[in-house]
Structure 1
Amino acid sequence: MESTTIIYIVLAVLISVIIAFFQYFYKVKKTPKVHILLFSLKALSLFLIGLLLINPKITTIETENIKPVLSVLVDNSLSTQFFKEEKKVQELVSKIKNNQELQDKFDVEYFSFGNNIQVLDSLSFKETQTDISKAINAVNELNEDKKAATILITDGNQTQGNDYEFLSAKNKTYPVVIGDTIQYQDIQISQLNVNKYSYIKNKFPVETLLYYEGKETVNTTFSIVRNGNRVFSKKLRFSPENPVQTVTANLVSNTKGIHYYTASVSNIKNEKNTKNNYKSFSVEVLDEQTNVLLLSSFLHPDLGALKKAIESNKQRKVDIALIQDRNIDLDAYQFFVLYQPNSYFKSTLEKIQSNFLLISGTKTDWNFLNSQNLGIQKRAINQEEEYIAVYNPDFLTFYQEDIGFDQLPPLKDKFGEVQIKKESQSLLYQKYAGIETTQPLLSTFEGNDKKYALLFGEGVWKWRAASYLKEKNFESFDTFVGNLVQYLASTKKRRRLDVKAQRLYAANEPITISAFYVDKNYQFDSRASLELTVTNLETKDKKSIPFSLFNNSYQVSVEGLASGEYSYTVTVKDQNISSSGRFNIEKYQIEEQFTNANFKKLEKLASKTNGTVAYVDKVDDLLKNIYNDASFYTTQKSITKKQSLVDWKWLLLLIIILLSIEWFVRKYYGKI
């Protein structure tokens, strides 16, 4: 207590005594004995009032016993149910709870884990994934500043998350192994890699990693099936010396749409678990074949160079035609390249409804082009000029890196100033006579649902040849032309409703579908009401669920769907906007792929954390060892607490009682 406070308390005592003395003894000729009582009551009550006004801080020291923490992590996944270990796990948890020695020595915490970790309430053994590393990290962070240990009750088989074998945990971990520890012969598809998309009539690779566990040499067959038809098959031989094989199958996609496949490996002798012998996958086949017409009034080397560059993408087919040919079916083409147009192109430009690329040159009729409302005017004179390309890094229409445009041969065109009348973006500017300008060499235009580009110069065949001389291939030039054609040929418009869903879900896996909805200004609209309708294509059963707003998107989670094929539709209430798709729920359970407990990894985890591993029948010994471990002990912590005297409510009550007694005594003796 501070010295100033002590002085105030002494003054409070003196003032209280002086006031009481003056009231009951000063100038009193005869002092009854009752005055001594009244003096004491008055002095004490006044002192207590003064003490409350001074409000000194009372310091107390308390000692707190801190027990070490024992975290019990229980595997709540389907694999426990698959191994038929539910009863043993329940009994094991009860045994720990009823162990009074552990309860006295530790603060015992109980958690269950699967996809996530949570405080143990009840065990359902229905979690569809197992993340052991997340569970261990969570309790380690929770007890970071405490002496702690962890009992891990699991089969050791993890389906997601970081490998727990390599965790750097400071707390001792004691795994209790559940499940079958006997090693059975087993062959499984451990991994399957495939691109989600393919183009029609293109081959797409399927890479499958197969793993064998056993002591004998076995023969098996790997196959891929679609709609009941085998599309790939290969005989394989496995042995203890050759337990891993990778099979690559090149499949052909002949029809547009989403196709579902099942990869499987035939059963081997004495195989206990066959559910890991197959795995399903899906591929969406896209039909984006683009027919391109390269139209000119005369033959030129540029035509061949452009044809080869555009057809480097196998989804594009180019035909070259002369404008004089009146039998051209324009409706058969989705994209046009107009090479050095003249007045003969007038009817063609009027008929073309799709996007196009226009290339000018020394034979271009600029009087004709200036009258076509293309957004450009060129005051061309009858004089040729060579233009070197200058790359514009601020071009934003689509991504195109600089392939060394300024090192390419110059293009030729008629000399003249170009005036742009419409909004445009220039990828390349002109450089002539050694002077860089902001005159366009390649510009793109977009408006009124049409996109087109203008290249002011002939001689791109020289660009392709120069690209080959520099890099020994045509890739950079062909990619440049491909990017330009891809942007111009694309007719896709931005959709106001964008839905994201997987095409394939494992059985009992949470099905989450998200949607992004924008208003007419393409700004996210949080006011909308979205609904998902899911239909089983076999039973025709329907299920409708509203979306919930989550940050800047809408999300919905669907549960309880049986395996099979489903279609879905997302609709926006009071708007004629919807989006549809399909997904498949396979019968494969990822938690059922294991034949036995992974006791080897659990032993490594225990060894790394200075713990010990135990099996269910040896749990009593494990619990005894944990109890007898001297590194877990109760610590004492001194806590200094400061409390204001004002907080002592009983002191106020005592003052009221003292003043009341004084009043009644004075009233009784007629002093009032």
Structure 2
Amino acid sequence: MSLFLLLLLLINPAIKKIELINTKPVLAVLVDDSKSIPFFNEAKNIAAFWSEIKKDKSIQEKFDINGFSFGSEIKPLDSLSFIENETNVSKAIIAVNELYEDKIAPIILLSDGNQTIGNDYEYLNSNQKIYPIVFGDTIQYKDLKITQLNVNKYSYIKNKFPVEVFLNYEGKENVSSQFSIYKEGKTVFTKKIDFSATNNVKTILTNLTSSKEGFQYYTASISKVEGEKNTKNNTKNFSVEVIDEQTKVLILTSVLHPDLGVLKKSIESNKQRDVDVFLIDKFNKQINDYQLVVLYQPNNRFNKYISAIKINKSNYFLISGANTDWNFINKQQLGFTKNDLNQTENYGAFLNDSFLTFLQKEIGFNQFPPLKDQFGEVFISKEHQTLLFQSINGLETQQPLLATLEENNQKVGVLFGEGLWRWRAASFLNSNSFQDFDTFIGNLVQYLASNKKRNRLEVNAESLYAANSTIQISAFYTDKNYLFDARASLEITVTNSVTKEVVKNPFSLIHNSYQTEIENLNAGDYEYKVSVNGQNIHQYGKFKITDYQIEEQFTNANSIKLQKLANKTTGTLYFKDEVAQLKEALLADTSFFTTQESIEKEQNLIDWKWVLFIVIGLLSVEWFIRKYYGKI
């Protein structure tokens, strides 16, 4: 028997086995964990509702219950804190649909229905039935609010800047209120506004005067009316950076080209910049009147102006193209030359991730149409940084397409190709906006037009942050040769201007910059200092945290949208006191059934360990018997 079993194990036959697996439907419970829930005093109610569902034995027998909490992101439900600053209902629903794509998984949505970010959940397509549970007051109260405020980021000192404010009224009665704008506690603008049930939207447009240089903070507010429950949406803060002077840019060109109009529009999209365009033969002003000179497709007629640029060490941006005279440029000893072969070529672009001169994000350069320039190899003899490399017919090269040079406080940019107007059009098609392209040109112009000596430490921070938002600050540090230094240790010290409370945070190295995040700062004015440990290098700045809470801008739960969501997904809307009705509906719905699946499994005999034990046992019995009869 032992030998038989051993031989059987050596042969190792496969044994087929059929198993039946029962799969219960999943009950996915999405719980709104944002600050709007405690704002409506519903935190205890929503926690009790979730507990009632989770602990019900009948529901447990029929469903596998999985809970998720959501704010701006969705995560497994361990505990509820109601501290999320934003609500993205649509993202939570889409995530659950993807997670249980091949399963029966009805969704219970516990929320007030007020979404602050993301796609409108009212129009979502869901494979699962959704049962919204309404938390919060559904009574419609009178409410005045500032729905939107538009203002330029920059203004010039002693100039006027426009402020556009959109006001909205919810209510049936006629009401009057006072709209005002304050600066440092003083009223700088006021206007009486009348609303009615039909005339419930107002637009205020006014111009304020920039009286002081630097960041100026303002508060827009509309007075409370009788019977108004929520007044937190009556106020909005905004800031304007007041600049002492305007950047003047000169474009000198040898040809008429669509690029000229695109450059002017992109540069002047920032209102602190002014552009003059001249044909080279008609220019009659002084080069020194401008902070930046753009030389578009230069030839020998540019000779005296290039000489003036070299003498004055003026900053300039040279753009070449099919009509550029490279023989003339090569003789000017500008620090770059090109072996012109008297024929044109189309050059695509791709971003250099190691570019360190200023921060520039990828805006789809490799998808833009190619630029046209004369064919030939480029040589740059001065210290330089390449922002964009050339690609020819999809083949990436290490030849520069857009590069920056800096020597003796003179800044130079060189673009080897014409056709920027195609880039701006392509950028609009990609993002439905000119903003990405205009920001790219703006970053380049800002760097080239600046006469400030380059700092080894540059800090990027906003001037205004919303309350309880994560404050993200980035820094860029270079060594003495102005090459990015990844070995440094940076630290930020943030001080509350009133309480003098100090918070210190280290920076983390992420790609080619140092970044830090600061959380849980109260509303107020703050000063910060960024230091490089072991170096006497610092940068200082200020920012303000407003008490604006987007989750507290609603007066009631949005039951109308939740009802539409339920109807669209063939679910049912319930209110917070209807937990019994919800459980009854879930248990009675025959479409939520347990599925049974038969699975054929194949198992090798050698995996049956008990067979080996039988063999060992039989051999042991035989040994003892032989020993007993003296056969051994």
Q: Same fold (TM over 0.5)?
A: yes
Q: How does 1:562-573 map to 2 (within 5 A)?
A: 562-573=522-533
Aligned to 1:541: 501
Query: Cα gap change, 1:657/1:290 in structure 2, threshold over 3 Å: closer, same or farther?
Result: closer
What corresponds to 1:60 in structure 2?
17
Distance 2:443 2:132 in 1: 56
Match of 2:474 among 514, 532, 547: 514
Q: 1:497 touches 1:577 (CA, 8 Å); kept in 2?
A: yes
Q: Which of 125, 128, 132 does residue 89 from structure 2 map onto? A: 132
- Please state if 1:182 is matched with 2:142: no
| Contact 2:155/2:272, CA 8 A, preserved across alignment | no
Q: Deviations over 1:151-206 (max 9, x none)?
A: 11111111112111111111111011011111000011112222322333333322
The structure 1 residue matched to 2:176, chosen from 215, 219, 222, is: 219
1:77 partnered with 2:37: no
CA contact (8 A) 1:375 1:422 kept: no
How many equivalent residue pairs?
516
Contact 1:85 1:179 in 2 (8 A): yes
Separation of aligned partners in 2, 1:79 and 1:127: 9
Of residues 75, 83, 89, the one that matches 1:118 is: 75
Amino acid at match of 1:139: V
Alignment map for 1:473-484 (pairs within 5 Å) = none
Corresponding residue to 1:142 among 76, 80, 99: 99
The DSSP-based 3-state class of the residue aligned with 2:232 is: coil
Q: C-alpha displacement at 1:625, in angstroms?
A: 0.4
Q: Answer yes or no: is the 8 Å Cα contact 1:205–1:251 preserved in 2.
A: yes
> SS in structure 2 opposite 1:148?
coil
Match of 1:282 in 2: 239
- Whether 1:583 aligns to 2:543 is yes
- Matched to 2:526, the amino acid is Y
Residue 593 (structure 1) shift: 0.9
Aligned partners of 2:247 and 2:272 also within 8 Å: no
**Aligned CA distance change for structure 1 residues 60 and 531 (closer, same or farther; 3 Å):** same
Alignment of 1:644 onto 2:599: no
Q: 1:447 to 1:69 in 2, by over 3 A?
A: same
Aligned partner of 2:578: which letter?
K
Rounded Cα–Cα distance in structure 2 between residues aligned with 1:626 and 1:87: 23
1:265 corresponds to 2:225: no
Q: How much has 1:58 moved relative to structure 2?
A: 1.6
2:115 is aligned with what amino acid? Q
Aligned residue for 2:563? 603
1:91 corresponds to which of 48, 62, 81: 48
- Cα offset for 1:591? 1.2
Name 1:248's counterpart in structure 2.
205
Deviation at 1:607, TM superposition (A): 0.7
> Aligned partners of 2:293, 2:9: CA distance in 1, in Å?
95
The one of 167, 192, 198 equivalent to 2:155 is 198
Aligned AA (1:491) = N
Residues 550, 646 of structure 1: CA spacing in aligned structure 2 closer, same or farther, 3 A cutoff?
Answer: farther
- Secondary structure of the corresponding residue to residue 617 of structure 1: coil
| C-alpha separation in 2, matches of 1:189 and 1:317 | 36
Distance 1:659 1:356, change over 3 A: closer
Task: Indicate if the aligned counterparts of 1:288 and 1:315 stay in contact, CA closer than 8 A.
Answer: no
**How big is each residue's C-alpha offset from its partner over 1:116-171, in whole Å with a ceiling of 9 and x where there is no partner?**
22211221222221111111112111111100111111111111121111111111
Query: Which residue of 1 is the match for residue 580 of structure 2?
Result: 620
- Kept in 2: contact 1:531–1:545 (CA 8 A): yes
Give how far 1:53 is off: 0.8
Q: CA, structure 1 residues 115+51, in 2 after alignment: closer, same or farther (shift >3 Å)?
A: same
- Maintained 8 Å contact 1:375/1:421: no
* AA of the residue aligned to 1:241: T
Q: CA deviation at 1:560?
A: 2.6
Contact 1:356 / 1:451 at 8 angstroms: preserved in 2?
yes
Amino acid corresponding to residue 279 of structure 1 in structure 2: K
- Equivalent position amino acid for 1:209 in 2: F
For residues 193-224 of structure 1, give each alpha carbon's deviation from its aligned partner in whole angstroms, at most 9, with x where no partner exists: 22322333333322222111100121122221
Identity rate, percent: 56
Q: Counterparts of 1:661 and 1:600 in 2: how far apart (Å)?
A: 80
Query: What's the offset of the Cα at 1:421?
Result: 13
Q: Aligned-pair distance for 1:424?
A: 12
* Amino acid paired to 1:158: Q
Give CA deviations for 1:402-451 in whole Å, capped at 9, x if unaligned.
9x9xxxxxxxxxxxxxxx998799xxxxxxxxxxxxxxxxxx99643235
Distance 2:444 2:587 in 1: 73
Give distance in 1, aligned partners of 2:586 and 2:172. 38
Match of residue 107 from structure 1: 64
Letter matched to residue 459 of structure 2: V
Matching of residues 253-652 of structure 1 within 5 Å: 253-289=210-246, 375=333, 447-450=407-410, 489-492=449-452, 494-520=454-480, 524-652=484-612
Deviation at 1:564, TM superposition (A): 0.4
Contact 2:249 2:273 in 1 (8 A): no
SS of aligned partner of 1:670: coil
Deviations 1:37-65 (A, max 9, x none): xxxxxxx1001101111111121111110
Residue 662 of structure 1 aligns with which residue?
A: 622
What's the counterpart of residue 456 of structure 1?
Answer: none
Q: Higher Cα Rg: structure 1 or 2?
A: 1
Asked if residue 231 in structure 1 is aligned to residue 168 in structure 2, the reply is no
Of 645-654 and 655-664, deviating more is 645-654
Letter in 2 for 1:214: G
Aligned to 1:276, the other structure's residue is in SS state helix
Could you tell me how far 1:350 is from its partner in structure 2? 11
Alignment check: 8 A CA contact 1:218 1:268 kept? yes
In 1, Cα distance between equivalents of 2:602 and 2:311: 91
Seen in structure 2, the aligned counterparts of structure 1 residues 56 and 519 have a Cα distance that, compared at 3 Å, is: farther
CA distance in 2 between partners of 1:423 and 1:587 (Å): 50
Code of the aligned partner of 1:577 = I
How far is the alpha carbon of 1:351 from its aligned partner?
9.3
Paired amino acid for 2:607? D
Q: Any stretches of 5+ residues in structure 2 without a counterpart? A: 251-263, 277-286, 295-300, 318-330, 335-342, 350-356, 358-364, 373-378, 385-403, 414-441
For 1:451 and 1:242, the matched residues in 2 are separated by 56
TM superposition score normalised by structure 2 = 0.72
> What is the alpha-carbon distance in structure 2 between the residues aligned to residue 277 and residue 392 of structure 1?
59
Q: CA deviation at 1:67?
A: 0.5
Match of 2:614, SS state, is: helix
Structure 1 pair 498/423, CA: closer, same or farther in 2 (3 Å)?
closer
The 2-side partners of 1:639 and 1:177 are apart by: 42
Structure 2 CA distance, aligned partners of 1:618 and 1:484?
Answer: 60
Q: Deviations over 1:437-494 (max 9, x none)?
A: xxxxxxx9964323589xxxxxxxxxxxxxxxxxxxxxxxxxxxx9999887532455
